[in-house]
Each structure stands twice: as C-alpha cells, then as structure tokens.
Amino acid sequence: MSVSESRRLRLCFVGWGAIASRVGELLAERQPAGVEIVAVAVRDPQRQRTALPQGARLIGGPDELAGLDVDMVIEVAGRPAVAIWGEAALRHASSFVVSSASAFTDDALLGLLLAVAEKTGSRIVVPSGALGELGALAAASALPLDEVQHTIVKPPLAWKGTRAAEMIDLDRLARRIEFFAGTARQAAEAFPQNANVAVISALSGIGLDRTRVVLVADPSAARNIHEISAAGAFGKLDLRLENEPLRTNPKSSEMTALSLVRLIENAVAPLVR
C-alpha cells in the first residue's frame, strides 16, 4: 500500500444541517486528497434533498453503517444523535467525532461510549468547535489548574429560541446583560445549542463541575465572542475569539465548521498543524 492510499478518509456525517453543509462546501472547494464523504445520516432519507455531497449515500439508522467501510463518523445533528449513533459509530469506524459535546453532561452515556471505544479500539474525538484550538488549556491541565472561566457573549438574535428569552427581553435589550452564571454542566444542560461549546472547554481543563460559565447578551456585539481565562501551576491563560456567526444559523459560528475541516484535513495531511 502506498502512503497516499494509507491516508484515505471515508466520512459519514450524522446530520446535514447548517454546520455539516458548510463543511461539505468547504471540503468541495479545498479538495483534500483522500477525503470522501460516502454517507449522510438523516431522519428521513426518503425526502428529496439538494446540495448533498456527490455520490454520498443517504442512510436512516445506525445499523446501516455496517458495510460502508467508513473511517470517521462525524455527528452534527444535535445532542440526541450522540446516544443514537454513538455505539454503532465506534464499532464501525475508527473515530467518532462528537460536535454536540453537551451530550457528555450525561455521565452514564459518556461512560458507555468510553467502554465501547476501549473495547473496539476506536476513538471519541471532541473538536474545538467555535473555540478554534484549546491545545494550550489541555496542556496546562497536565498540572493542577486552580480555575477556568468561559464567558460567551452573543448578540440578542443568537439567544432567541432559548431559555434566555424567558429571562430577559431580547427584543428591547439596550445594554450588555449577564443572564446566566454557573458550571459548564449547568450551562450546557440549560442552553444545549448556544453553550454546547462550554463542555469543550470543560473537558479540556478542569471538568464540567469546576469550570465556571457566564452567558451574556450584548446588543453591541456583532460577532459570537468567547473569552476563556485559566490559572494554575502552569501560569495564566487568557484567550478571546470573536467569531463570525454561521450565515445560515446565527446560534453557531463559522469557526465551528472550520474546526471540523481542519480536523478532517489533519487526519490525512503529511504535515499536521
């Protein structure tokens, strides 16, 4: 087998919403060698769809992963999909990429999937999503961490359709308001779409119950902002990202799709960056 043949990557996406379709669009533009989207899992595969990857097969259930010879299953369908597809993904692919990290606030589910991954030799991969890269925080956690805080600031529009609308008047907001403060577990449970990313920072650092999360609605914010601060034996870290919202879904960031593209390309690249 040649080096190029060994670097093939056959992908199955679970979900084909705003994030997945953006990833597909970027992969089609960039055409990384060896990468092929061979399947897309959806709830109703019989429904006609446009803009699907050329040649991709539509599937409707986890049992259909058998025989597809996929290398990586990428979940981008929301928290319930992690439990539905997780075991099958870990049995039929070498990697299961979980974008809806809020599913891991369920300790029993996480324990089950870790046990399956251990048995099959597959891996659960949590991408950095809207945070871009958390290597520094993950490295710092090798020594004791004293504190980690993750502040998420978004325009009022991005909080519509969430519990924030019950807590503050998003339509008439005239100034920045911190409407939630709690642990990463609490934030992800209460705001699974908007604060899903808090689980990512928590898993990279000191865990779901020690990571403090603050949620903010700010009418002056033009982008989705993440501010992460950490302190511990390594020193002090301050990270700030201002992400453009995804054009088709303001609750998500363009960086969420870009981080998945980077993860996919690094899986086949001769130089990992």
Evaluate whether residue 244 is within a structural domain: yes
The residue segments making up the domain with residue 163 are 135-249
31: pLDDT strictly greater than 50: yes
Same domain, 11 and 90: yes
Q: What's the CATH number where 219 sits? A: 3.30.360.10
- The structural domain count of the chain equals 2
Task: Name every residue whose Cβ is closer than 8 Å to that of residue 113 and which is 6 or more positions away in sequence.
Answer: 82, 86, 87, 90, 96, 124
pLDDT of the residue at 16:
93
Structure tokens at 197: 């990313």
pLDDT of the residue at 2:
45
Name the residue among 268, 273, 259, 260 with its Cα closest to residue 10: 268
> Quick one: residue 55, left, alpha or beta (phi over 0 = left, psi -120 to 50 = alpha)?
left
130 assigned to a ligand binding site: yes
CA dist., res. 51 & res. 148, Å (int): 41
Evaluate whether residue 259 is within a structural domain: no
Same domain, 43 and 101: yes
Q: Which residue has the tokens 């999937």?
A: 113
Same domain, 51 and 77: yes
Same domain, 117 and 154: no
Res. 273 pLDDT band, cuts 50 70 90? confident
pLDDT of the residue at 251:
78
Same domain, 122 and 225: no
Same domain, 166 and 211: yes
pLDDT of the residue at 1:
42
pLDDT of the residue at 6:
65
Res. 109 pLDDT band, cuts 50 70 90? very high
Question: What pTM was estimated for this model as a whole?
Answer: 0.91
Q: pLDDT (tens digit, 9 = 90+) per residue, 216-258?
A: 999 999 999 999 999 999 999 999 999 998 888 887 889 999 9
Mean pLDDT of the chain: 93
From the candidates 79, 185, 226, 251, give the one annotated as an active-site residue: 226
Task: Name every residue whose Cβ is closer than 8 Å to that of residue 168 and which is 6 or more positions away in sequence.
Answer: 177, 179, 217
pLDDT of the residue at 3:
42
266 assigned to a ligand binding site: no
Half-sphere exposure of 204 (CA within 13 A, CB side): 27
pLDDT of the residue at 4:
52
| Residue 133, SS3 per DSSP | coil
226 included as an active-site residue: yes
Q: pLDDT (tens digit, 9 = 90+) per residue, 131-161?
A: 888 899 999 999 999 999 999 999 999 999 9
pLDDT of the residue at 5:
56
